[in-house]
C-alpha cells in the first residue's frame, strides 16, 4: 500500500486527469461511492445521518456519499457549511445531482447546530487534504461541537483540520471514530501528533492506476501480503549454511541479557548459524538461555569488551553490534573496527549508535550495506535535533540521514519507518504498547539480522523483521498476554505463532 503527501496526491490526480483521461467528476463519484459502501457497513438503517459538507472536493465527496445513502433508503441530510457561491466545479455538479435525486441540502445558520446535535451519525466531509493554516469559522466552532457530541463520527479522507503531511504539531481538528481514507494514506496517519484523530481507519480505492502511485511516491506501508511474498523460504534440501551465518557482538557486565535476546531472536526467526561474541562472564551467564548458538569469548577490562583485534569478521553473512555493549572508549574502538573492516552488511543498535555519532565519516566510507536501528532518542542524537523536532517530521529526518550517510535507517516507534539509502520508505503497521519495554529493541535486532543474513533485499528484510516483531506482540496480547505483562522474551517465543499464522493463512 502506498503512502502519499498532499502534493503527491494532487499530482496523481492531475496525471490521472490530464494524461490518462480519468476526469475529476468520475474520481469523485468513485470516492463517494466507495466511502458510502464502507459507511453502510458501520451504521444502521434507522440512524439519523448528517453529512457536513465543505466547499472543496472533500465536500463534493460528501454529496456523492449522501446521494448513495439516500438511494439505499438511509435517513440522510446534508448540512452545507459554506455559502452556495463557494460550492463550485465538480462539487457543485455532484450537489446538483444529489438534489435532483431528491436530496436535501440545509444551508448553514445558527439553528443548524440542532441538526448536528440530533444526528446519530456525523459524516465529516468539511475539509480534506486542501487544509491551509488554522481552521476558520464556522468550521472551528463546528469541530468543537462535533467533538463534544456523542454521535458516531466518520471522517472522509482525513478528519477535518488534521494536516495531511508531517510538520504540524498544533491544530484544531475533528476527532473521528472512523476515517475512510481516499486512494492512499497520508503521512499524518502515522505520526504521533496526528494519528489518534483518525480513530479506526481504512483505505478505499478510487480507481487511480497503480503505475501512477509507483511513479509519484516512494513511500509505502508493508503488509502481510508483502511478508508472505518475500519471506525467505526453507527448501527440502536446505542445510544450515543456506540460511546464513551471523555474528552478534554485544553485552557488558550490566547488560548481559541484551546479547542473549538478540541471539535467541535471530535463531528463532530462521537464522542458520549464530555466533554470540562477548566477555567470558557474559557468555557464561547467557549461554544456557540459547544452547543452539555458538559463542566467542573476547577479552574485557572491567566488564567491557576491549580488544577488537581478537574478532574475526570474515565468513559471516551479516553482523550486528551494539546491544548492551557499553559506552566506553574501548567499546567505541570495537564499533569503529567493525564499521571499517566488515565486508558484509552490518546492523548497529543500542550503544553502537551512541558511538556512531563520532564515527559518521567511517560509516560514509563503507562499501557494504550498513543498517542503523535507532529509537527516536538515538535518532535525534545522531541528527543533533530534539526528539520533539524529530517526531514532527520523522519521514523527512530519516530520509535525510539515510541518503546523506548511505545507510538503511530503521526509525523505531509505533509506526517504525524503514528508509533505504535511496530514500525509499516503508512503514510497519504491526506492534502495540506492550513493546514499550526494555529489551524489545534487542529482539528486533536479532530478527533483523536473521532476515538480512538470508540475502534478501535489505529493504524487504528489514520491513519483514519489523512486521514479524510487531505481529508477535500483537498475537501475544490477543491470546495469552496483556500489553502490561508482555516481556521481550515472550516476543521471541511468539515468533512461533507468527510463522504458523503466516503459513496457515495461505
Ligand atoms: N485523487 C484524490 O485524492 C481525490 C480526492 N478527493 C477529495 O478531494 C479532497 C481535496 O479536495 P480540495 O483540494 O478541493 O480540498 P479540500 O480538502 O476540500 O479543502 C479545500 C476547502 O477547504 C477550505 N479550507 C482550507 N483550509 C481551511 C481552513 N483553515 N479553514 C477553513 N476552511 C479551509 C477551502 O476554503 P478556501 O480557503 O478555498 O476558501 C476549500 O473550500 C480530498 O481530501 C478528497 O476528499 C475526491 O473528490 C476525488 C479524488
Ligand atoms: N507503542 C508501541 N507500539 C508499537 N511498537 C512499539 C511501541 N513502543 C515500542 N515499540 C517497539 O519496541 C521496540 C523498542 O525498541 P528500543 O526502544 O530500542 O528498546 P530497547 O532498547 O529497550 O530494547 C521498537 O521496535 C519499537 O518499534
Ligand atoms: K474531512
Residue nearest to atom 18 of ligand 1 (CA): 56
Q: What average pLDDT does this structure show over 223-250?
A: 91
Cα 413 to Cα 191: distance, rounded to the nearest angstrom: 10
Query: From the CA atom positions of the chain, what is the Rg in Å?
Result: 26
pLDDT for position 504: 85
The ipTM of this complex is 0.94
* Atom of ligand 2 minimally distant from the CA of 378: 18
pLDDT digits over 271-309, tens only? 999 999 999 999 999 999 999 999 999 999 999 999 888
Is-contact 391 367, C-beta < 8 A? no
State the cell numbers at 30: 468513485
Percent of the chain's residues with pLDDT above 70:
99
CATH number assigned to the domain covering 6-217: 3.40.50.10260
Is-contact 392 167, C-beta < 8 A? yes
- 56 CA from centroid of ligand 1 (Å): 4
Model confidence at 110, pLDDT cuts 50, 70, 90, reads low
Q: Has 258 been labeled as part of a binding site? A: yes
Q: Has 303 been labeled as part of a binding site? A: no
- All residues with CB under 5 Å from ion ligand 3: 58, 124, 155-156, 160
> Considering Cα of 479, then 480, then 482, then 483, what sign does the dihedral take?
negative
Residues of the chain with CATH 3.40.1190.20: 224-228+238-504
Cα 381 to Cα 495: distance, rounded to the nearest angstrom: 31
Question: Can you name the residues that pair with 278 across neighbouring β-strands?
Answer: 297
Q: Assign 424 to helix, strand or coil.
A: coil
Q: What average pLDDT does this structure show over 104-110?
A: 88
pLDDT digits over 63-82, tens only? 999 999 999 999 999 999 99
- 12 CA from centroid of ligand 3 (Å): 19
Backbone angles phi, psi at 452, to 5 degrees: -65, -35
Q: Assign 271 to helix, strand or coil.
A: coil
Strands of the 245-249 sheet, one edge to the other: 219-221, 425-427, 417-419, 408-411, 370-372, 346-348, 318-321, 245-249, 273-279, 294-298
pLDDT for position 111: 62
How much is the mean pLDDT over the chain?
95
Q: Assign 154 to helix, strand or coil.
A: strand
Cα 247 to Cα 324: distance, rounded to the nearest angstrom: 15
Q: Is the pLDDT of residue 461 over 70?
A: yes
Cα 358 to Cα 225: distance, rounded to the nearest angstrom: 40
pLDDT digits over 164-195, tens only? 999 888 899 999 999 999 999 999 999 999 99
Q: Is the pLDDT of residue 214 over 80?
A: yes
Q: Give the total residue count for the chain.
A: 506
In terms of Cα–Cα distance, which of 263, 279, 260 is closest to 271? 263
Percent of the chain's residues with pLDDT above 90:
92
Judge residue 365's burial from the number of C-beta atoms within 10 Å of its C-beta, 0-12 exposed, 13-18 middle, 19 or more buried.
exposed
Which of the 8 DSSP states describes residue 233?
Answer: P
Cα 160 to Cα 178: distance, rounded to the nearest angstrom: 12
Residue nearest to atom 21 of ligand 1 (CA): 56
Cα 448 to Cα 468: distance, rounded to the nearest angstrom: 10
Residue nearest to atom 1 of ligand 1 (CA): 13
In terms of Cα–Cα distance, which of 480, 474, 463, 462 is closest to 501? 474
Residues in contact with ligand 1 by the CB-under-6-Å rule are 9, 13, 27-28, 31, 54-61, 127-136, 139, 156-158, 182-183, 206
- 156 CA from centroid of ligand 3 (Å): 4
Model confidence at 235, pLDDT cuts 50, 70, 90, reads confident
Cα 266 to Cα 244: distance, rounded to the nearest angstrom: 11
CATH number assigned to the domain covering 224-228+238-504: 3.40.1190.20
- 97 CA from centroid of ligand 1 (Å): 20
The ligand whose atoms approach the alpha carbon of 125 most closely is: 3
Q: Could you tell which of 98, 128, 208 is best to mutate to test the pocket of ligand 1, judged by most ligand atoms within 8 Å of the CB?
A: 128
Is-contact 159 179, C-beta < 8 A? yes
The angle subtended at Cα 355 by Cα 354 and Cα 359, nearest 5°, is 130
pTM, two decimals, is 0.95
The H-assigned helical ranges of 119-277 are 139-148, 210-216, 224-230, 256-268
Cα 147 to Cα 122: distance, rounded to the nearest angstrom: 11
pLDDT for position 506: 65
pLDDT for position 396: 98
Q: Has 415 been labeled as part of a binding site? A: yes
Cα 501 to Cα 64: distance, rounded to the nearest angstrom: 40
Cα 344 to Cα 266: distance, rounded to the nearest angstrom: 17
Cα 371 to Cα 452: distance, rounded to the nearest angstrom: 10
The ligand whose atoms approach the alpha carbon of 432 most closely is: 2
The ligand whose atoms approach the alpha carbon of 428 most closely is: 2
pLDDT for position 51: 98
Q: Assign 199 to helix, strand or coil.
A: coil
Q: Could you tell which of 371, 375, 469 is best to mutate to test the pocket of ligand 2, judged by most ligand atoms within 8 Å of the CB?
A: 375
Q: Has 375 been labeled as part of a binding site? A: yes
Residues of the chain with CATH 3.40.50.10260: 6-217
pLDDT for position 485: 97
The ligand whose atoms approach the alpha carbon of 416 most closely is: 2
Q: Has 161 been labeled as part of a binding site? A: no
pLDDT digits over 26-77, tens only? 999 999 999 999 999 999 999 999 999 999 999 999 999 999 999 999 999 9
pLDDT for position 22: 92
Amino acid at each position: 500500500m502506498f503512502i502519499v503527501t498532499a502534493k503527491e496526491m494532487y499530482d496523481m490526480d492531475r496525471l490521472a486527469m490530464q494524461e490518462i483521461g480519468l476526469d475529476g467528476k468520475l474520481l469523485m463519484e468513485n470516492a463517494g461511492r466507495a466511502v458510502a459502501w464502507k459507511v453502510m457497513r458501520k451504521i444502521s438503517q434507522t440512524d439519523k445521518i448528517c453529512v457536513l459538507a465543505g466547499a472543496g472536493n472533500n465536500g463534493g465527496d460528501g454529496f456523492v456519499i449522501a446521494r448513495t445513502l439516500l438511494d439505499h433508503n438511509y435517513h440522510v441530510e446534508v448540512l452545507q457549511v459554506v455559502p452556495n457561491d463557494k460550492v463550485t466545479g465538480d462539487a457543485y455538479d455532484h450537489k446538483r445531482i444529489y438534489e435532483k435525486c431528491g436530496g436535501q441540502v440545509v444551508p448553514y445558520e445558527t439553528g443548524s447546530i440542532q441538526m448536528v446535535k440530533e444526528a446519530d451519525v456525523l459524516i465529516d466531509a468539511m475539509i480534506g487534504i486542501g487544509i491551509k493554516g488554522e481552521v476558520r469559522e464556522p468550521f472551528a466552532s463546528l469541530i468543537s461541537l462535533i467533538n463534544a457530541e456523542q454521535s458516531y463520527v466518520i471522517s472522509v479522507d482525513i478528519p477535518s483540520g488534521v494536516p495531511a503531511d508531517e510538520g504540524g504539531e498544533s491544530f484544531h481538528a475533528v476527532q473521528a471514530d472512523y476515517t475512510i481514507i481516499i486512494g492512499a494514506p497520508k503521512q499524518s496517519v502515522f505520526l504521533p501528533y496526528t494519528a489518534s484523530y483518525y480513530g479506526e481507519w481504512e483505505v478505499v480505492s478510487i480507481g487511480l492506476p497503480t503505475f501512477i502511485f509507483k511513479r509519484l511516491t516512494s513511500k509505502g506501508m508493508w503488509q502481510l501480503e508483502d511478508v508472505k511474498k518475500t519471506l525467505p523460504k526453507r527448501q527440502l534440501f536446505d542445510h544450515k549454511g543456506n540460511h546464513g551465518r551471523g555474528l552478534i557482538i554485544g553485552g557488558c557486565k550490566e547488560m548481559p541479557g541484551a546479547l542473549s535476546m538478540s541471539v535467541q531472536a535471530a535463531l528463532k526467526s530462521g537464522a542458520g548459524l549464530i555466533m554470540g561474541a562477548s566477555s567470558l562472564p557474559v557468555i557464561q551467564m547467557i549461554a544456557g538461555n540459547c544452547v543452539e548458538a555458538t559463542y566467542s569469548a573476547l577479552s574485557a577490562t572491567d566488564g567491557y569488551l576491549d580488544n577488537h583485534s581478537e574478532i574475526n569478521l570474515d565468513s559471516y553473512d551479516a553482523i550486528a553490534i551494539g546491544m548492551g555493549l557499553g559506552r566506553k572508549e574501548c567499546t567505541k574502538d570495537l564499533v569503529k573496527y567493525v564499521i571499517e573492516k566488515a565486508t558484509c552488511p552490518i546492523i548497529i543498535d543500542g550503544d553502537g549508535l551512541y558511538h556512531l555519532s563520532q564515527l559518521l565519516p567511517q560509516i560514509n566510507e563503507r562499501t557494504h550495506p550498513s543498517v542503523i536501528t535507532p529509537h527516536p532518542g538515538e535518532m535525534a542524537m545522531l541528527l543533533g535535533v530534539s526528539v520533539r523536532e524529530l517526531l514532527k517530521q520523522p519521514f523527512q529526518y530519516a530520509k535525510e540521514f539515510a541518503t546523506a550517510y548511505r545507510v538503511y535507517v530503521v526509525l523505531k516507534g509505533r509506526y517504525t519507518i524503514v528508509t533505504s539509502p535511496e530514500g525509499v520508505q516503508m512503514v510497519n503497521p504491526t506492534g502495540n504498547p506492550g513493546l514499550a519495554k526494555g529489551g524489545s529493541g534487542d529482539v528486533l535486532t536479532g530478527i533483523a539480522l536473521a532476515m538480512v543474513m538470508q540475502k534478501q533485499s535489505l529493504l524487504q528484510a528489514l520491513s519483514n523483521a519489523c512486521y514479524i516483531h510487531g505481529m508477535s506482540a500483537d498475537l501475544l496480547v490477543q491470546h495469552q498476554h496483556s500489553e502490561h505483562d508482555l516481556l521481550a522474551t515472550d516476543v521471541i517465543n511468539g515468533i512461533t505463532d507468527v510463522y504458523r499464522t503466516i503459513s496457515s493463512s495461505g
